[in-house]
Amino acid sequence: GAQTQAVDTLVIGSGPGGYVAAIRAAELGQKVAIVEKNQIGGVCLNVGCIPSKALIGVGHAYHAATHDTPFGLTVDDPELDWQKAQSWKQNEVVNTLTTGVKMLLKKHQVEIYKGEARFADDKVVNVMTDDSSTLLEFNHAILATGSRPVEIPGFTFEGRIIDSTAALSLPEIPEALTIIGGGVIGSELAGVYSNLGTKVTIIEGLPQILNGFDKEMIQPVLSHFENNQVKIVTNAQAKSSQQDDDGVTVTYEVDGESATVKSDYVLVSVGRRPNTDEIGLNATDVKLTDRGLVVVNDQQQTTAPHIYAIGDIVAGPALAHKASFEAKVAAAAISGQDITNDAIAMPSVAYTDPELATVGETLMSIKDKNLDAKVSKFPFAANGRAITMHQTDGFIRLITDKETDILLGAQIVGPNASDLINEMSLAIENGLRAEDISLTIHPHPTLGEAIMDTAELADGLPIHI
Ligand code: FAD
């Protein structure tokens, strides 16, 4: 018979949503248990954010080692041991971080249950492993079960047709790779493999890849892809696939015409769906939208008042930092704090070449909302540090309220955009004006000075342009 254990707060899923919620709830004095059916750290640490960035680093190193520089360094036929790259990614990157998360959970006395959680009723979850079953009775639960890749008809994940998880652990560097879906995940992996010399084809259904970013932003990324001989087919529908011994042929349709492309593997990266269908939610009052997302209020509370939900299973962008922020809101709310999720700035990054980062309003959103906004743009070609790094592609764009000078949005395309965007998130979250940035001393020479330059431009007093 199953044993029953009692906890204050039960967290289901240990990704950047779940593990952060568990730690914060424990810090706030609760007895916490966390259930994970797979690996501690969730998608992000094991098969998402972290291993993808590790391989992006490998791609950059290889690309740099195979391209002559303008400052007299010539390169000659370097060799990449792919097995070593893979074991470095797993053992020294992923495992270091997941071990760290396990240690943090232990430090906060969070009980870890390995197994698959399923609601038995609205106060009890059954945790199943192959040979055991444990009943956990809780006062509050936080759902953080994340998402999984979507399959499309004709492209069942099998053999040479792979999802992003398999694409991060390929047995060899493919000669040719077809990627269906040029969103952030597809484009980042196109970057990895094209930097490693793979002939990449991207098949995208929409008029452009990286759809969340505007045309001007993606221009330098398209140039890099072109230099890497990446073929991008837009407005295209992947129709069917045919696998044989030495590869897989994809048939796709563009402008009513049929075409084919053959490659070693086909990565399907067309989106992810929330893991809300297999956790027994019908035993609770938790309501889902028709897309399977959990309905929550601004405290992350579901329609069952003692159950909360965070991360990829609730509305909004599927991003690790969003999951972690919502985790802290849910843990605080459960602990009785008067808190709401009122974040203004939700940054979003694509780790392409160059990197793309955006926060707050965009060119599209100011049009949609009919905002009286000023758009100021400063190129990295006018930034000293970027020139010394030989990375001058891209720009910084600030969107300010015309009347008040308050910062509404920022877009950064260029070297280290992923880190530079943080200054803009801080500014926007705190209602700063462009003037607050131009009156802040930025060290010279840095990429971040370009933010100050853009702010000066917004205020009509540019120095460097
Ligand atoms: P997850 O990380 O998906 O974790 C959910 C966990 O719940 C999983 O471990 C799962 O096994 C477990 N689980 C599910 N059901 C049960 C159950 N019934 N019982 C027990 N356990 C269960 N985001 C970024 O912000 N930056 C990036 O650079 C980035 N790169 C990415 C690259 C790739 C290739 C992918 C696929 C995603 C990337 N993401 C990135 C997205 C990011 O990984 C997700 O937004 C994030 O992991 C969501 O966190 P989560 O806590 O909601 O869920």
- ipTM confidence score: 0.99
Whether the ω angle into residue 379 lies within 30 degrees of 0, i.e. cis, is no
Write out pLDDT tens, residues 398-421: 999 999 999 999 999 999 999 999
Distance 108 CA to ligand 1 centre (A): 22
Pocket perturbation via mutation, ligand 1, pick of 12, 43, 128 by most ligand atoms within 8 A of CB: 43
Across-strand partners of 243? 248
Write out pLDDT tens, residues 31-50: 999 999 999 999 999 999 99
User: Measuring CA to CA, which residue among 141, 107, 106, 148 is closest to residue 127?
Assistant: 141
Distance 44 CA to ligand 1 centre (A): 5
Establish whether residue 17 lines the binding site of ligand 1, counting it when its CB lies within 6 angstroms of any ligand atom: yes
Establish whether residue 183 lines the binding site of ligand 1, counting it when its CB lies within 6 angstroms of any ligand atom: no
Query: Which atom of ligand 1 sits closest to the CA of residue 320?
Result: 25
Establish whether residue 333 lines the binding site of ligand 1, counting it when its CB lies within 6 angstroms of any ligand atom: no
Query: Which atom of ligand 1 sits closest to the CA of residue 19?
Result: 51
Smallest CA separation from ligand 1 atom 47, residue: 44
Establish whether residue 49 lines the binding site of ligand 1, counting it when its CB lies within 6 angstroms of any ligand atom: yes
Establish whether residue 20 lines the binding site of ligand 1, counting it when its CB lies within 6 angstroms of any ligand atom: no
pLDDT score recorded for residue 76: 87
Per the structure block, which two tokens stand in for 67? 């391209």
Residue 230 burial (CB < 10 Å; 0-12/13-18/19+)? Answer: buried
Query: Which atom of ligand 1 sits closest to the CA of residue 317?
Result: 45
- 76 to each of 67, 68, 82, 174, 274, how far by Cα in Å? 9, 9, 18, 21, 47
pLDDT score recorded for residue 2: 61
What is the three-class DSSP state of 402? coil
Residues making up the binding site for FAD: 53, 145-147, 312
Residues making up the binding site: 53, 145-147, 181-188, 204, 271, 312
Establish whether residue 13 lines the binding site of ligand 1, counting it when its CB lies within 6 angstroms of any ligand atom: yes
What is the three-class DSSP state of 311? helix
Q: What angle do CA 270, 272, 276 make, to 5 degrees?
A: 155
Contact 58, 32 (CB under 8 A): no
Distance CA 236, CA 35 (A): 41
Could you tell me whether strands 373-379 and 395-401 are parallel, antiparallel, or unpaired per DSSP bridges? antiparallel
pLDDT score recorded for residue 3: 73
Q: Which residues of the chain have pLDDT under 70?
A: 1-2
Write out pLDDT tens, residues 47-94: 999 999 999 999 999 999 999 999 999 998 999 999 999 999 999 999
Could you tell me whether strands 307-309 and 133-143 are parallel, antiparallel, or unpaired per DSSP bridges? parallel
Positions annotated as catalytic residues are 444
Q: How is the beta sheet containing 236-244 ordered, strand by strand?
A: 236-244, 247-254, 257-263
Q: Which residues of 305-316 are buried (b: 16+ CB within 10 A; e: fewer)?
A: ebbbbbbbbbee
Smallest CA separation from ligand 1 atom 15, residue: 145
pTM, 2 dp: 0.98
User: Measuring CA to CA, which residue among 122, 33, 30 is closest to residue 334?
Assistant: 30
Distance CA 190, CA 176 (A): 11
What is the three-class DSSP state of 379? strand
Question: Using N-to-C axis directions, what is the helix angle for 215-227 and 184-195, rounded to 10°?
Answer: 30
